Amino acid sequence: MDPDKLKEIEDRVAREPVPYAQVVQMLKAIGVKAYDVDVTKGTILYRGNHKVYGLQASSQKLSIAPAFSPEKIEDAYSRIERREIDYPTFLKALAEAGVERYTSDFKRMAIIFKGGGKEHRKPIPEA
């Protein structure tokens, strides 16, 4: 897992609309097995090939809503997939849905959203 390649992918995704399934394929191609996002801090921790690499995805500090809402999670996910919102706005919507953190697990091909002792799983679409 090469930090420079991660940065290239991050920059590309910030510049142009890339479907999430394609982002997953790009990350897998450079050895990423999973990544963890701390919604409150806006940090991403990439894991793969016995390496860990962290990035600051957003500088905004978010407060997490007390109620965990799978419906709001699904809405936020749909909106970012349709490219109606950018990633910082997606994180804000997740915070409003009660999500404290989420993991994208490429082995299980699932996104696991967690908050308030609850979780919501969403399958990662195939490219």
pLDDT for 84: 87
Distances (CA, A) of 45 to 68, 69, 104: 23, 24, 10
Distance CA 12, CA 112 (A): 24
User: Which of the four CATH numbers 3.40.50.300, 3.20.20.210, 3.30.70.380, 3.30.1810.10 does domain 3-123 have?
Assistant: 3.30.1810.10
In the chain, the percentage of residues whose pLDDT exceeds 90 is: 57
Residue spans of the domains in the chain: they are 3-123
Q: What is the pLDDT of residues 62-83, one digit of tens each?
A: 999 999 999 999 999 999 888 8
Q: What are phi and psi of 4, to 5 degrees?
A: -65, -40
pLDDT above 90: residue 59 = no
For 104, the token pair is: 């994208």
Instruction: Collect all residues with Cβ–Cβ distance below 8 Å to 16 and sequence separation of at least 6.
Output: none
Task: Give the predicted TM-score (pTM) of the model.
Answer: 0.89
